[in-house]
Structure 1
Amino acid sequence: MPLKIVYQPYTLHFRKEAGTSRGVLTQKTSWILQVTDSEHPDVTGYGECGPLPGLSVDDIPDFEAQLASVCNLFNELDLEVFPFNLGIILDQLVPQHLPSIRFGIEMALLDVINGGERILFKNDFSQGERGILMNGLIWMGSYENMLEQVSDKLALGFTTLKMKVGAIDFENECHILSKIRERFDKTEITLRVDANGAFTQDNVNYKLEELAKFDLHSIEQPIKAGQPELMSEICATSPIPVALDEELIGHFDYREKFALLKKLAPPFIILKPTLLGGFRHTDEWIEIANRLKIDWWITSALESNIGLNAIAQYTASKNNPLPQGLGTGQLYTNNFESPLTVEKGELHYRFDKNWELPHF
């Protein structure tokens, strides 16, 4: 089964500006991979490499040159891939400092291994038998815009909302949360907030105390990553359970991952396969978290529906009951049509909808 891989860039355009404490996004580029099998020309696998600007380890100026180098090496080796050697191929082919490339190739090869039908993990979700519970994401914007987003998500049936905080006026952010709590208590609507590292040592305790008034489920990454002593103290004393996100990026060694989680001891971690180096690295984080009795959930990282599909199927295979962060497929005006459908706050795979895939 000699395989060949090609790629092409694809720029995704946001329907509306997406604001975080790191800035406002209007578009995002992914590199779409296609793997073909010369012995089985009807079998084609697709993957997606989508580094996030300013966040991914492989958000580097020569990213495309690095991707081309990996693909050229892959094609020169005339590889055959099976479940038992997939991990070996990835380890030998893709350097650790290119996590989104590793993820994209892993995704495409899993697609080929499973027949090139976009079913990478066979489970009740990918067979269309159940949905995955999700949180509805509220992006930063004006006070009025954020309230409008809240109303829209509630109307769509979401019972968990995740609000980005840390960029607009803090009092306005608290006012929005208070408006939600005036209508719904924590048994009706679960609230998460994501600071994306926006708080500082000087104000983090004050802001956590203020936010705790709104019965929040968790706060993601209250301070910037790389401050282990302060983060350990925050995880231990915060009135809101802390979920680590950016803190996990760039850690690829198993022992390093274990040491980090053991030291910081967060209640939750958030897993983004694109940023962590794919499913096998995500498996390691889950195994360590389970050993240390740390809860977790999985989120997408602004991938197109190609990447989102793979992440959703992987997520379903883990049977995690918490709401997951998989609502990014509706963000773009030019996303690829797919069987992924959001219904009443859940993501479903509907076989009556077809894939629209890029042409190479």
Structure 2
Amino acid sequence: MPLKIAFKPYTFLFKKEAGTSRGVMTERKSWMIRITDEEQPGLEGYGECAPLPGLSFDDVPDFETQLLSVCELFNELDLEVFPFNLSIILEQIVPEHLPSARFGIETALLDYMNGGKRIIYSNTFSTAGKGILMNGLIWMGSYDDMLAQVEQKLAQGYSTLKMKVGAIDFEQELRILASIRERFSKEEITLRVDANGAFSPADVDEKLARLAAFDLHSIEQPIKAGQHDLMANVCKSSPVPIALDEELIGIFDYREKFALLKKIQPPYIILKPGLLGGFQHTKEWIEIANRLNIGWWITSALESNIGLNAIAQFTAGFSNELPQGLGTGQLYHNNFESPLDIRNGHLFYNPNAKWELPRF
């Protein structure tokens, strides 16, 4: 019997406001994907399409209409899925300009092919209890609020902290970093910062010079994406290693990916499968980065536990010892209950725990 696909929108509510240089979020909308086969009742594959407002290539007003068209085409074609034709289905059914849809449908198909048990990739994380090292995320807020977040993450056992910068007063952000470094050396606590493109061409050099005083591991996207010549110069001269993030969004052609990284030569890139078009596109970025000796790590993009689980299992398939950005599962009041668990700065998957699945 051919596969059938359906979707349903969900709105997830943040426990507290999530502040970045692009603004403050209080809720997050996603579209859950379910793939079924009438001849195999109970076998269901789930995925998540979650365009990130203000950032995703497919953050468009008619996203749901376009997703509906994709699903209608899928259901018309009497599809069956196997490892050898998965990439063909994705390429033929889901347009590249809908990267979050491709991610969600790819995840649901992988889940279905693996028995509908939310084991998207079988590895030591998903089946043997091995944890994934993570950074603890410090959201933008008031000075006191950000300091409180730092204390909370340290108490939770994180050895790498990632702080959003670029929205509150820069001097206050420096004070927060200084307060951490006064207590912990770079050997004790690794510090990352994420500017989300907030620095201007006029002040980026000065701000990077001042940030260098705090022995930072890296800074994500110091200037807005699309300024390739400037970014190449910044990467070459910055005393703080640069990690590209938004710069990668919207690039789907392999040759364009290679040309971008070869031109800019960043020390690191940050990979968000939900924004890049799924796991196959993410694998291409990783392959290119490895060829060019560029470091990388993977982060979620505020998906619910459905999407986060898939990203974590994918991440665990690589031998990457850098802390990953997968600590977003506890952000929402109404997230789906899942086997994902954070302990001592690591993400774990408990195969004995039960899933709360989306209702269709």
TM-score range, shorter chain: over 0.9
- Is 1:174 equivalent to 2:174 in the alignment? yes
User: For 1:23-34, what aligned pairs fall within 5 Å after superposition?
Assistant: 23-34=23-34
8 Å contact 1:196–1:221 — kept in the other structure?
A: yes
Q: Are 1:159 and 1:189, in contact at CA under 8 Å, matched by a contact in 2?
A: yes
Q: For 1:62-117, what per-residue CA distance to the aligned partner results, in whole angstroms no more than 9, with x for missing partners? A: 00000000000000001000011000000000111000000000000000000000
Alignment partners' CA distance in 2, 1:270 and 1:140? 20
Whichever residue aligns with residue 258 of structure 1, its letter is F
The reply to whether residue 336 of structure 1 matches residue 329 of structure 2 is: no
TM-superposition CA deviations, 1:33-57 (whole Å, max 9, x none): 1100122112100000000001001
Task: Give 1:307's aligned residue.
Answer: 307
The structural deviation recorded for 1:344 is 0.1
1:113 is matched with which residue? 113
Matched, 1:148 2:156: no
Gapped regions of structure 2 (runs ≥ 5): none
Identity across matched positions, percent: 72
Q: Counterpart of 1:255?
A: 255
SS of the residue 1:200 aligns to: coil
| Partners of 1:196 and 1:223 within 8 A in 2 | yes
For residues 98 and 122 of structure 1, the distance between their equivalents in structure 2, rounded to whole angstroms, comes to 27
The secondary structure found in structure 1 opposite 2:9 is strand
Give CA deviations for 1:267-291 in whole Å, capped at 9, x if unaligned: 0000000100000000000000000
Partner of 1:85: 85
Partner residue in 2 for 1:326: 326
Partner AA of 2:73 in structure 1? L
Aligned-partner Cα distance in 2 for 1:129–1:145: 34
Task: State yes or no: 1:56 paired with 2:50.
Answer: no
Paired with 1:43 and 1:333, the residues of 2 have a C-alpha distance of 28
Aligned residue number for residue 101 of structure 1: 101
Q: Retained in 2: the 8 A contact 1:270–1:298?
A: yes
Aligned-residue offset at 1:319: 2.0
User: Contact 1:128/1:348 (CA < 8 Å) preserved in 2?
Assistant: no
Distance in 2 of aligned mates of 1:353 and 1:124 = 16
Deviation at 1:197, TM superposition (A): 0.1
Q: Is the 2:129–2:350 Cα contact (8 Å) retained in structure 1?
A: no
**Is the Cα contact below 8 Å between 2:196 and 2:221 reproduced in 1?**
yes
The alignment partner of 1:5 has SS state of strand
Equivalent position amino acid for 1:70 in 2: V
Supply the distance in 2 between the matched residues of 1:243 and 1:194 (Cα, whole angstroms).
9
SS at match of 2:252: coil
1:246 aligns with 246
For residues 159 and 224 of structure 1, what CA distance do their matches in structure 2 show?
29
Partner of 1:5: 5
What residue number does 1:357 align with? 357
Check conservation: 2:271, 2:299, Cα contact below 8 A. Answer: yes
Mapped pair 1:281 → 2:316? no
**SS of residue in 1 equivalent to 2:317:** helix
Residues in 2 aligned to 1:58 and 1:142: alpha-carbon distance in whole angstroms: 31
Shift of 1:318: 1.0
TM-score, structure 2 normalization: 0.99
Could you state the TM-score of these two structures normalised by the residue count of structure 1? Answer: 0.99
Partner of 2:225: 225
Give me the whole-angstrom Cα distance separating, in 1, the residues matched to 2:87 and 2:353.
Answer: 32
Asked if structure 1 preserves the Cα contact closer than 8 Å seen for 2:165 and 2:194, the reply is: yes
Aligned residue in 1 for 2:200: 200
Alignment partner of 1:288: what SS? helix
1:188 counterpart residue number: 188
Q: Does the residue aligned with 1:206 lie in a helix, a strand or coil?
A: helix
Counterpart Cα distance in 2 of 1:308 and 1:100: 13
SS of equivalent residue, structure 2 residue 334: coil
Residue 347 (structure 1) shift: 0.1
Per-residue Cα deviation, 1:202-239 (whole angstroms, up to 9, x for no partner): 10000000000000000000000000110000000100
Q: Figure out how many residues of one structure are paired with residues of the other and give that number.
A: 360
- SS state of the match for residue 43, structure 1? coil
Match of residue 272 from structure 1: 272
Write the distance in 2 (CA, Å) between the matches of 1:102 and 1:228. Answer: 27
| Deviation of the 1:2 alpha carbon | 1.2
